[in-house]
């Protein structure tokens, strides 16, 4: 139960911006909110952009492949090497009668994958990061995507 609470908390912090520019944080959260990302920028270990996932099909495939339900909160072991990163982006929410309907993309959070089955989420909120031990298949998928 604690693992699920920590996973939901980490994902919630990562995805706060997915709800737009609200001043109130919603109480409820569905792990499927990761699918609300409108763009995922994939970069290799050096930071070179390798791909941009921006279609609904690509983002759905990404969400299904990373198997969030299998993540376990963990401590990041020393000596791991970064293999790539995944920046999740979403357009800010357009509010009726405010502004001219112009939107801009906001970076929601960054996933960093390592050479072992570990992933760190940088939520971009108060320098908070969370580390997870991933299922082998999810880690392999992420490393392959960033290669």
Q: For 20, left (φ over 0), alpha (ψ -120 to 50), or beta?
A: left
Site of tokens 């082998």: 136
138, pLDDT greater than 70:
yes
Question: Count of CB atoms within 10 A of residue 97's CB?
Answer: 4
The domains located in the chain, with CATH, are: 2-146 (3.30.1490)
With a pLDDT cut of 90, the percent of the chain lying above it is 46
Indicate the pTM of the whole model.
0.70
* CA dihedral (141, 33, 84, 92) positive or negative: positive
* Measured distance CA(31)–CA(29) in Å, rounded: 6
Least confident stretch, 21-30, 41-50, 74-83, 135-144: 21-30
Closest C-alpha to 36, from 68, 59, 9, 8:
59
pLDDT in tens, 34-60: 656 789 999 999 999 999 998 989 988
* Measured distance CA(91)–CA(105) in Å, rounded: 4
- pLDDT, position 28: 33
109, pLDDT greater than 70:
yes
Least confident stretch, 42-51, 65-74, 92-101: 92-101
98 or 62, greater pLDDT: 62
């Amino acid at each position: 139960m604690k693992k699920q609470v920590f996973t939901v908390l980490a994902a919630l912090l990562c995805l706060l911006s997915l709800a737009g520019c609200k001043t109130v944080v919603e109480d409820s959260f569905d792990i499927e909110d990761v699918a609300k990302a409108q763009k995922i920028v994939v970069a290799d270990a050096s930071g070179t952009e390798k791909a941009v996932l921006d279609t609904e099909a690509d983002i759905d495939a990404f969400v299904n492949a990373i198997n969030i339900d299998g993540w376990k909160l963990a401590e990041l072991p020393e000596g791991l090497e970064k293999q790539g990163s995944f920046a999740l982006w979403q357009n800010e929410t357009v509010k009726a009668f405010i502004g001219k309907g112009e939107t801009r993309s906001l970076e929601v959070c960054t996933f960093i994958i390592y050479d072992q089955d570990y992933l760190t989420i940088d939520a971009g909120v108060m320098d908070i990061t969370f580390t997870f031990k991933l299922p082998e298949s999810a880690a392999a998928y992420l490393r392959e995507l960033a290669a």
